[in-house]
Amino acid sequence: MAASQKTSKKRSATSQAGPKAKKVHVDSAKTDKKRSRPITQPLAVEDAASDSDGPSDDVDDEGLVCEEDVAEEGQDAMEVDQKNDQRPKDPNAARESHKAQKVLQDQRRAAKPHSTLLVDAKKVWALARQKNISSSERQKHIKDLMNVIRGKVTDIVFKHDASRIVQTCVKYGGQKERDEIAVELKGRYKDLSQNKYSKFLVTKLIRLCPTQRTSILFEFQSHVMRMLLHREASSVLADAFELYANAYERTILLREFYGKEAAMFSLTSGSEEDKERAKKGLSGILEGSDIERKRRILGSVKDNLITIFNNSDKGAVTHAVVHRALWEYLSAVNTFEESEQEKLRHEMFDSCQEVLAEMVHTKDGSRVVREFLAQGTAKDRKQILKVLKPHIERMCLDDEAQLVLFTALDVIDDTKLMAKSLVSLITASATKLYPTSQGRRSLMYLLVPRTRRHFTPAQIASLAETDAIRARTSKKSPESREEEVRRAASEELITWVEESGETLIREPTGCLIVAEILLYGEGDKSGAINMLLQTLASPSISEPHLIDLPPTSRLYKALLQGGHFNHTTKEVERVPSTSWDSSAFADKFVRTVGQEPTVTMCVGNGNGAFIVAELCEALIRGESTYGRQKVKEWFGSADVVKQLEASEVKGKTILLEKLTLL
């Protein structure tokens, strides 16, 4: 019987969803930007929580009964089984038992409110949700479905199966159908957000009904704090604030943080002046206020934030709306006198220091932690590093969280502590970090902080926000601190290049980081240099020659130039000779690579001629005569020169010019 039931379910699923379609409809909700993920959240939990659209409409199950139905069906089955146990065994007993269960299920469902409506709606819904139908046919089914549920949406939307029916109308329907559903649900959005089934519908309406969004968010007023601590409603507010709301709509959700006195500042008056002030957030509320009113309002903000921090297990502390309120609080505190600033800031730090790792993944949360780092004492900074230490690798791979690490490198004077708690953890993860742009930036900041080659102007400007504070709170100069950080990171990074360099230099991302480590790192680089040159001297037969790989050829060119070419000044920015001696590298190149590989790379199809030209230039700058004499001998033969002149190799003209200067 079990086998036959499975077969019947498969047939039913096939009849509902139809055959496999060639073109599958892509829901915009699946491709929409997701909320930023906390770096403290395990990866498995992240993946499970990433689907904010709720249960998929494409699951091929029949009937979609709710949990109550499942429990009642189980009870029915137990009753029937108990009766059957008292009867003699009969070959048809299983069939009769199944029929009895079916009758009981139908009776119980029919006794429930709106049973007829749900049966009719599911029939049309099964047609509307098919994957392999045309757009016009789907719209016809959506209109039929709307005709069935119109005027009764609020009656059925809290049920699991019925909520998915309404979601299908929102998902596939036009703007008219979406707005119609949004208007019909008016006044119920708070309750819908707190329901584990209908909360997904609210998120869809907030995203897909921009004209209704403001009115939906207004229904959350005076309930925001409770909703943030509610297991179901919290995600609705988080998505609305971070993904869909504009500046004015965000103030609707932030308003409750400001307390009852601030509520007198009307956001609903409709005047443009009030809306412009509202967009400023807390600063707009405090605009023109006396010092006592500022203290009262900031006291309310503080109390509400502490409520969130004291209930960190509810998950609200990870949401961007909380981070924005905290950042606005700290910004407002900076308008007070210095002694009062320190008192208010430190009180807030004491309240949230244990949950700082939950904040660094958002823009405002990152700014908050960076502010605490810049303004804090040595003890405060040590405590922050202690909280962040278990999450350093994940922070390196997050765009906002890594800015916290960079600020720590900028402001902490105790470089020994930093080398142990921060730098060593970053360098130990180099193999995992270098393939991604975020990870490479984390490695680059140890060597060449804020360089325009690897950091955008926006990132540099964001990091520079704490420079003025650093000048007051830190004792060391930025240059000496950068040098100490570079020295602490160099040894392990150079060792990493020596051990893994042969693989790294065959990858574009690897070449970028190897170039910076060798040019700017401090320490014994002889092992890494030998690896680079020996790999060039004996290339693998089964793989392309290293010089034929553009990123790799640029790496060797930069090392022979002694720095990177600046496209603005049209000059090479050479690093100090104490860090990298390009002439010594060129001499080592001649001794290690030898004649045959060097001459061969000049007549290939890659950039070998340019590399040898830079080799000649580096030898000319140096004092060693050995390398110059050897290269003269290698290319002194008339046959080699003729072969170069007759070839179509790129860079041959430049190479011939450099050879004459040796």
**pLDDT of res. 28:** 45
Give the pLDDT score at 14: 41
One DSSP character per residue, 463-485 reads HGGGHHHHHHH--S-HHHHHHHH
Using pLDDT thresholds of 50, 70 and 90, give the confidence band for residue 377. Answer: very high
CA distance 272 to 270: 6
Residues 120-175: pLDDT tens digits?
A: 888 999 999 998 999 999 999 999 999 999 988 988 888 777 888 999 999 999 99
CB-based contacts of 662: which residues, under 8 Å, 6+ apart?
616, 619, 620, 628, 631, 632
Range of weakest confidence among 66-70, 92-96, 160-164, 530-534: 66-70
Does pLDDT of 535 surpass 50? Answer: yes
Q: Which two tokens stand for residue 190?
A: 């708070």
pLDDT at 347 over 90: yes
Residue 268: pLDDT band with limits 50, 70, 90: very low
Residue 97 has what pLDDT? 75
* Local structure of 573: helix, strand or coil: strand
pLDDT tens-digit map of 585-635? 999 999 999 988 888 888 766 678 899 999 999 999 988 789 999 998 888
Calpha distance 575→500 (Å, rounded): 24
- State whether residue 563 is helix, strand or coil: strand
Cβ atoms of residues 253 and 220 within 8 Å: yes
Q: What's the pLDDT tens digit per position in 350-376?
A: 999 999 999 999 999 999 999 999 999
Identify the pLDDT of residue 385: 95
**pLDDT, tens only, 7-60:** 444 444 444 444 444 444 444 444 467 889 999 887 654 544 444 455 544 443
Host H or E run for residue 588: helix 582-593
> What's the pLDDT band for 94 if we cut at 50, 70, 90?
confident
This prediction's pTM: 0.84
Q: Report the alpha-carbon distance of residue 567 to residue 198 in Å, rounded.
A: 56
The pLDDT value given to residue 508: 94
